[in-house]
Structure 1
Amino acid sequence: MNLVNIDTLTPASYNPRTVDPSRLALVKLSLEKLGWLLPCYITKDGTILSGHQRSHVALELGYTKAPAVILDGLDLNTCKAVNILFNRSTNDMDLAAIPANLKADLLKANPVEMAKELPSRTDYYPCLEGRMEPVAPLVKINSGRWNQYACAIAKSLYQYDIIMPIIADETGVIINGIGRLQMAAEKKIDNMLVIRLPRAQARFAEAMLNQLSMDFCIEEKYADLLRFNSFRRLRRTRSELGRGFVFAVIGNKPAYEFDIDNPAHMKKWMSVHGTRVIDFGAGHLTETEMLRAKGIRVTSFEPFHVDDQEQIDKTKSIHICREFLRDIASGTRYDSIFISSVLNSVPFLQDRKHIVKILAACATKNTKVYAVASSENQADFAIMTKKFLNAKAQTATKMLASYEENVTIGEIQTAPKVQKYHNPRMFYDLFKTAFQSVQAGYDTGVNVYSISANPLPLTGLREALQFEFDLPYPDGSRMGLVNEAITAFETRLGVKL
């Protein structure tokens, strides 16, 4: 940790925080009264990963230098993930904490009144005055105060060799960093950097460090990253047809009870779904290949196909999408279209509307579209909303997103991914934007389903194709198939889009 010139630091363009003037004033007050309790964390070129607001208000207070830890060897997408982790690790948050609620709690504490007792300083760097202390005595003092979620975030930072300091009062009670202390104990780290505060500062510091947090605008700064991170993970590889492919045949029975190798089962399946289908959002192509092996004509679409290292294979993905467009242009009339376990991972409502519009353009008056996605009754979401808690949930690196109802962001330590948890009303409203007939409800209690038919007129299809066939990739490129997509659908539909 060293002092660096503040004017050499650059805010990260992808930092998802939005600045609230009232909270920024409190950041300034905190720095004025407490100094730099925590350092900035920056890249080798001076891009700030943690410390945006503090470095900004420091200039107004007359600081010319800021304490900083330089993180080297991180690529851009890792920097983005670490940036989100820092935004969750500075405060001792619990699993369901959102900045708006923290702000309300902070205002109740009346920090401005608390600050009146403290002297103002503009050359104060307590984080440089901290000392390495043994972890074991601090663990004993703070026993019973553990925060599993904060510990999980600290562990995620630790995988990048990042350990933030702990802030404690004179008696060793942790003011900020209880998750970091817990992580150190579990990782058997003997000593940690500890900054001790006198009692007069401790109460004020506890409120400012744990409840002062800016709102997220992750939907703006991280939109493309959330889109390409929607790929189906390798751990989700299936050995049987997914729920969306079988619910209309087997009802509420588990999906594994449908045996694709049982002739009677397949005969019933074909009586419902026909022999010409689309697998939209085909993932690893598991269902596509299983159905093709049974003589079903399957057109698959998957923009983010991954290799065995769980890296998006852009070449393979574009090949799949081009084959999809070839089949679309051929005029194939489909009996069924499946979109199974896909709409949970599409990060934004408008994106989902574009997809539904494309599904409608693929359908005829005799086609039915079958969709299944996780509902708000799923345990993962119930945990986030504190309907119940368990140890596994509290160790997950997730957060509630505030830009849309029932949205979480998980895997924030590696490849941040959105999960949208639907209810039947949401599914109905979504598919009603492109179909005259929509039936929606709960499936097995933890999923939602819809069956849609009779596509509406094609208003908005061109815009949908411009979106879906120009999706982003991690290397900064885009799919680039918009013109091919428009041509294919114009050929299929016999219209000029």
Structure 2
Amino acid sequence: MMEYIDINTLNPAEYNPRLLSPEAQEELKKSISELGIIKPIIIRRSDNRIMAGHQRTKTMKLLGYTHVPAFILDEVNSTDEVRFNQLHNYAECEVSELQPDIRVSIPEGTEGFYTVPNKDIVMVTKGTTNSRVVDLTKMILRYGQFANAVCDHTGKVIISTVYAKTVKLLGMNLLVYVLPEGKDETALKYFSKEYGVFEYSHLDRKTYIQSFAQKMRLRQKNGVQCGHSRSTLYETLVIPFITKDMRILDFGAGQKDYATMLQKKGYLVDAIEFFHRKDGADIIDEKEIRQDCLAICKTLSEHGLYDVVVCDSVLNSVNSLEDEKNVLLSLSALCKPGGMIFWSGIPLLFAQKSSDRKETHDYRSKAVFLDANNFTANFRFGEWYFQHYHSIADVYRLTSQYIGDEIKVYEKGLEINNKRELRGSSFQVSAINERKLSKQEYVDALKHEFTLPLPNNRRWDLDKDILPIFEKL
């Protein structure tokens, strides 16, 4: 149920990931001045914490509002609190050609908030944003309705049609705001604008949380493969290329499944994952990681830099652009000049399209909320968890800048050029290492990677082992 609440009793959330430019703030002021409050905010009942509607609340204060319409929700967990923020920013402003055509029956002359019985909601067309419907359904079933639609004076829903579709499919009544006649174009004008962008740079980052993204490789349960059992990078590029006289490093090796398999077959493979977990336990295996670092130091001391360095599904789980740079520079630092570097990631286009898949049972269907650098953030396990996506231009630019210009990019084992965008669920890269940068830049990158943060405000100190050896090389 929507209620009106004293604006001075509201508490903003410190994590709010959406930022508003001064120009957007002014547009929001104009919108509220011309249309009034046609979209309630969402707050948590226990402490009046704003979960969605921070910018609207700030603007209403500037305009002198004393009470605001709000959906007040009970017992919202921390993960869903953030998801409300992201989904609500979508549900309240979504205006696109992909939206369904929804009509509602309203009494003649109705203006303002009005509750439409489910039987009076007509879905003329279904639209193509089913993954959003899935996300909205989960939230509504868990906490109740948390948004409203906006319709013109004839009953045509023009804003938040996907939310209206979700409510119709759930058999619920729908709260709508009925615009006065002649105001629909004004509403569409304002709600088609971009009121801020997602911005995650101010959020706390605990790098070891990213280890939850580690995929199971080559695993079986009761004789049946489980999880993401095969690495496209290894299967299509690395294994066909390597020989048993090459020195190979798997950097960011996850649970080291491929490295272990290749070692058993006689390949000279070292592997390190700074947050490798003990099998069957959610504990970082610090003893094994230290041993892996010493193995790398031994190889560097006795044989020099590696012939091949592999970095599989790591760069889509970095926290920041700076982390991405340090990973790529570390790959180049540990690979000999003229050696081969392989890396892989998730295409930007795949992430964008995953929100608009028609088949909602597709495991890849999920809503993503990208910032300007194509990071998305989710609150999982009580911490922020980041994913990063790349366009074909990003792949060529990064590889050329930090590794070398002899680059090949693949999808599903087939080489593609930089004339078309990456379309699949993953991409793979091979590049000859040119060692373009200064020694100090490589040293700085390795120091960063080998001193990554650990739980309980600790950091790795592995730099003291590897840096003296690297500098001699």
Return the TM-score normalized by structure 1: 0.71
1:277 and 2:261 correspond: no
AA at the equivalent of 2:35: L
Change (3 A) 1:485 1:470: closer
For the residue of structure 2 that corresponds to 1:12, the secondary structure is coil
Which of 340, 364, 375 is the aligned partner of 2:312?
340
Aligned-partner Cα distance in 2 for 1:277–1:70: 56
Question: CA offsets, 1:345-364, max 9 Å, x none?
Answer: 33543322201222233334
Query: Which stretch shifts more, 296-305 or 7-16?
Result: 296-305
Residue 358 of structure 1: aligned partner: 330
AA at the equivalent of 2:408: G
Aligned-partner Cα distance in 2 for 1:94–1:149: 15
For the residue of structure 2 that corresponds to 1:430, the secondary structure is helix
Aligned-partner Cα distance in 1 for 2:430–2:129: 39
Question: CA offsets, 1:29-67, max 9 Å, x none?
Answer: 332333332222123333322111221122222222223
| Count of matched residue positions in the alignment of Structure 1 and Structure 2 | 428
Aligned-partner Cα distance in 2 for 1:430–1:382: 21
Question: CA offsets, 1:196-244, max 9 Å, x none?
Answer: 3332444433433x31432324241347279945743658744345424
Q: CA RMSD in A?
A: 4.0
1:30 and 2:31 correspond: yes
Which of 434, 437, 441 is the aligned partner of 2:408?
441
AA at the equivalent of 2:179: L
Change (3 A) 1:40 1:434: closer
Aligned-partner Cα distance in 1 for 2:368–2:97: 7
AA at the equivalent of 1:239: S
Aligned-partner Cα distance in 1 for 2:43–2:163: 20
Residue 321 of structure 2: aligned partner: 349
1:420 and 2:403 correspond: no
Residue 215 of structure 1: aligned partner: 196
Residue 223 of structure 2: aligned partner: none
The answer on whether the counterparts of 2:210 and 2:318 sit within 8 Å (CA) in structure 1 is: no
AA at the equivalent of 1:2: E
Which of 121, 124, 147 is the aligned partner of 1:138?
121
Aligned-partner Cα distance in 2 for 1:287–1:182: 45
1:324 and 2:288 correspond: no
Change (3 A) 1:20 1:317: farther
The answer on whether the counterparts of 2:28 and 2:195 sit within 8 Å (CA) in structure 1 is: no
Aligned-partner Cα distance in 1 for 2:182–2:269: 70
Which of 454, 462, 471 is the aligned partner of 1:485?
462
Residue 441 of structure 2: aligned partner: 460
Residue 83 of structure 1: aligned partner: 85
Change (3 A) 1:322 1:51: same
The answer on whether the counterparts of 1:340 and 1:372 sit within 8 Å (CA) in structure 2 is: yes
The answer on whether the counterparts of 1:130 and 1:196 sit within 8 Å (CA) in structure 2 is: yes
Q: State the Cα distance separating 1:279 from its structure 2 match.
A: 1.6
The answer on whether the counterparts of 1:168 and 1:195 sit within 8 Å (CA) in structure 2 is: yes
Q: State the Cα distance separating 1:431 from its structure 2 match.
A: 3.8
For the residue of structure 1 that corresponds to 2:93, the secondary structure is coil
Residue 266 of structure 2: aligned partner: 295
For the residue of structure 1 that corresponds to 2:342, the secondary structure is strand
Which of 229, 234, 250 is the aligned partner of 1:239?
229
For the residue of structure 2 that corresponds to 1:442, the secondary structure is strand
Aligned-partner Cα distance in 1 for 2:279–2:175: 40
Q: State the Cα distance separating 1:398 from its structure 2 match.
A: 3.6
Q: State the Cα distance separating 1:182 from its structure 2 match.
A: 1.4
AA at the equivalent of 2:172: D
Aligned-partner Cα distance in 1 for 2:430–2:95: 37
Q: State the Cα distance separating 1:480 from its structure 2 match.
A: 1.2
For the residue of structure 1 that corresponds to 2:284, the secondary structure is helix
AA at the equivalent of 2:205: D
Q: State the Cα distance separating 1:179 from its structure 2 match.
A: 0.5
For the residue of structure 2 that corresponds to 1:371, the secondary structure is strand
Residue 221 of structure 2: aligned partner: none
Which of 200, 205, 211 is the aligned partner of 1:224?
205
Aligned-partner Cα distance in 1 for 2:20–2:271: 43
Question: CA offsets, 1:475-496, max 9 Å, x none?
Answer: 8x55611xx1320222322569
For the residue of structure 1 that corresponds to 2:439, the secondary structure is coil
Give the alignment of 1:395-414 within 5 angstroms: 396-399=365-368, 401=370, 403-404=372-373, 407=374, 409=376
Residue 109 of structure 1: aligned partner: none
In structure 1, the gaps of 5 or more residues are 98-124, 251-267
AA at the equivalent of 2:467: E
The answer on whether the counterparts of 2:98 and 2:128 sit within 8 Å (CA) in structure 1 is: no
Aligned-partner Cα distance in 2 for 1:49–1:452: 48
For the residue of structure 1 that corresponds to 2:201, the secondary structure is helix
Q: State the Cα distance separating 1:429 from its structure 2 match.
A: 4.0
Aligned-partner Cα distance in 2 for 1:82–1:308: 34
Question: CA offsets, 1:394-430, max 9 Å, x none?
Answer: 99334473523xx36487999764342343x644543
AA at the equivalent of 2:365: A
Q: State the Cα distance separating 1:452 from its structure 2 match.
A: 2.9
The answer on whether the counterparts of 1:84 and 1:412 sit within 8 Å (CA) in structure 2 is: no
The answer on whether the counterparts of 1:303 and 1:320 sit within 8 Å (CA) in structure 2 is: no
Aligned-partner Cα distance in 2 for 1:137–1:382: 33
Question: CA offsets, 1:165-185, max 9 Å, x none?
Answer: 222334321132211121123
AA at the equivalent of 1:79: E
Residue 151 of structure 1: aligned partner: 133
Question: CA offsets, 1:328-382, max 9 Å, x none?
Answer: 3334444422112322333543322201222233334575322234556x7x268
Change (3 A) 1:403 1:345: same
Q: Which has the higher strand share?
A: 2
State, as a whole percentage, how many aligned pairs show the same letter: 21
Give the alignment of 1:1-40 within 5 angstroms: 1-40=2-41
